Amino acid sequence: MRLKRSCAAMRNRPGKMLWPARVPVLSAAAAVMLGVCGSCNTTGCTDNRSSIPLAGFYATGSGSTISLDSIDVGGIGAPGDSLLLASGEAATAVYLPLRSERTSAAFCIAYRYKALDYRELNDTITFNYSSIPYFASEECGAMMRYRIESVVHSRHLLDSVAIVPADSVITNADIENLRLYFKTSSAENR
């Protein structure tokens, strides 16, 4: 009798639950926690949170993509080591980073081919741009976009520079934003 009274008393005590009664409540709490923690990931945000222009290399005459292996590309007036592409590495494109606290960025292209390795033949490119703060989302936060307003460049071996987006806005999309057209030799020119 005493056992019956204790169990009945336990069932009727406020705030106390028996183990079998706790299982559904604990399962529901665990499901809620998994749902909350599962939504705390960054899958809704892209991996690339920086708006860095990608410049592809092209031949002036044919307009086809070219691979260059003997050029150095570096920033002018950039802090620290600004070598973005070193000769000896074959590349068809290079990232040319812009800085949000500035309104222009300059880059130097030095040709390391035997017959072209002269300082006088180095090309420079200067981009004049404006920074546009952009709030992507709560997950991603804010990032900068850049609107290229003008491009000035020398024309030693670099023939022209084209801005690919029609609105000239550089976003964090990992796409080619610029095209650098180089003067190349062909069998017809030799």
176 burial level (CB within 10 Å; 0-12, 13-18, 19+)? middle
Confidence of residue 27 (pLDDT cuts 50, 70, 90): low
pLDDT at 49: 64
Residues 6 or more apart whose Cβ sits within 8 Å of residue 93? 54, 55, 56, 57, 176
Tell me the pLDDT of the chain averaged across its residues.
79
Is the model's pTM score more than 0.75?
Answer: no
Residues 6 or more apart whose Cβ sits within 8 Å of residue 75? 82, 84, 97, 105, 106, 107, 108
Dihedral pair phi/psi, residue 150, rounded to 5°? -160, 160
pLDDT, tens digit (0-9, with 9 covering 90-100), for 56-80: 999 998 999 999 999 999 999 887 7
Delimit the domains of the chain by residue range: 2-38, 54-189
pLDDT at 165: 79
Q: Which helix (DSSP H) or strand (DSSP E) does residue 2 occupy?
A: helix 2-12
